Amino acid sequence: MRSFLPLVYFLVIFFMSCKDKNNGQQNQNENTELPVLAIQKKDTLLLTEYVSEIQAVRNVEIRARVHGFLENIFVDEGKEVKKGQLLFQINDLEYVTEVAKAKANVSNAVAEAKAAELEVDRIKMLVDKKVISSTEFELASAKLRAAKAKVEEANAELASAQNKLSFTSIKSPFDGVIDRIPLKIGSLIDPGALLTTISDIHDVFAYFHVSESEYLRFRKDKSNASSREEAIQLVLSDGTEYPQRGRIETMDGEINENTGAIAFRARFPNPSKLLKHGASGKIRLTSVVKDAMLIPQKSVFEIQDKNYVFVVGNDNIVKMRGFTYRNRVADFYIVEQGIQPGERIVYEGVKNIRDGMKISPRMITEANFIAYSK
């Protein structure tokens, strides 16, 4: 019996030490001081950026319409041109000859028609005197109609020849900037050969794509709906803001089935010609989210691709709770669902606590919150 007494004493001491250890751990947890933030509703300025593609309002390929040697180039690459300005000259000797030939054919056809008309008048007079039969008159009238048709045909051939001659002088269709000129003087070109491209970049279009959910929010939200008429920003590829403001002009009539996005088009003035056709940038849309609830990123942790925070109860016990967010603004989430205004969350140190732990909260004022966020 006495041999069991040491074992009993050992077990009693062991359980007492474990109890003291647990109590000590619990007291230590209760003494854990953590910054706590009360969630509040607040109007928030939301800046959203979308990758955009810059295109000229008009971008036209200049192609040859006739065959011939490129005789002269009157412009250089990258230069501004005016509407109607002469750009290229194709050797026109062949087409000048064709015009002269067509004019001669017109003169010949007119003369033949005049002779046929005189013949009709002469035969009509003889028919009236009953010298010849009316059949002769009908035959002469048919010849006159054929002669007049030849005049029309000759005039059409002349117009075609004159058009071809005019196509040898290639002029700018509008004010713009000349792109690359792949051919050189003396090149033999065929109809359809690309001579250059001209872009009208006095204004430019910026195309960008918005997801279906953002599009619906854009249409439903009154502030966003009005922002279609407000100026928007363009951020250039080097990160600088383009000084001119633009406006959203239109959007596609359907949502892309493959991407689930819809294309928007904005117009920007380009007086300095800084923006070029084919450039890239980012469209920055500004809107105000009414009564937004912001959660700092450092307060959030992820489990299986879901976002959670620790909500502090009235008894200072933390509970893990999931939430969904509408947007991310810098280092903050705009809450969609899961968190109510007035609730307290652990602001920082979420990796050092666990669900059900009791903490000692230290409330953060708005000023301190800004200080923490820097």
Render pLDDT for 106-116 as a digit per residue (tens, 0 to 9).
Answer: 999 999 999 99
Q: How far apart are CA 195 and CA 309, in angstroms?
A: 63
Of the two residues 57 and 48, the one the predictor is more confident about is 57
| Closest C-alpha to 214, from 263, 281, 250, 181 | 263
Assign residue 12 a region (left: φ > 0; alpha: ψ between -120 and 50; beta: otherwise): alpha
pLDDT in tens, 283-316: 998 877 888 999 999 999 999 989 999 999 999 9
Report the number of secondary-structure helices (H) and strands (E) in the chain.
Answer: 6, 19
CB-based burial label for 194 (10 Å; 0-12, 13-18, 19+)? middle
H/E segment holding residue 207 = strand 194-211
**Average pLDDT, integer, range 112-130:** 89
* Predicted confidence band of residue 14 (pLDDT cuts 50, 70, 90): very low
Indicate if the pLDDT at residue 17 is higher than 70. no
Q: Is the pTM of this model over 0.85?
A: no
Assign residue 182 a region (left: φ > 0; alpha: ψ between -120 and 50; beta: otherwise): alpha
Indicate if the pLDDT at residue 374 is higher than 50. no
The domains located in the chain, with CATH, are: 34-46+291-373 (2.40.420.20), 47-57+200-287 (2.40.30.170), 92-167 (1.10.287.470)
| Closest C-alpha to 303, from 321, 326, 277, 317 | 321
Which residues on neighbouring strands pair with residue 176, listed in sequence order?
81
Indicate if the pLDDT at residue 347 is higher than 80. yes
Of the two residues 19 and 80, the one the predictor is more confident about is 80
Indicate if the pLDDT at residue 73 is higher than 80. yes
Q: What share of the chain is helix, strand, coil (3-state, %, to 5)?
A: 35, 40, 30
Indicate if the pLDDT at residue 194 is higher than 90. yes
**Average pLDDT, integer, range 6-23:** 46
Which residues on neighbouring strands pair with residue 200, listed in sequence order?
58
**Residue 146, SS3 per DSSP:** helix
Indicate if the pLDDT at residue 227 is higher than 90. no
**Average pLDDT, integer, range 248-269:** 91
**Beta-carbon neighbour count of residue 173 at 10 Å?**
15
Q: How far apart are CA 225 and CA 123, in angstroms?
A: 82
- Total residue length of the chain: 374
- Predicted local confidence at residue 230, as pLDDT: 59
What are the start-end ranges of the H helices in the chain? Answer: 5-30, 93-128, 134-166, 212-220, 222-227, 366-373
- Predicted local confidence at residue 366, as pLDDT: 61
- Predicted local confidence at residue 216, as pLDDT: 83
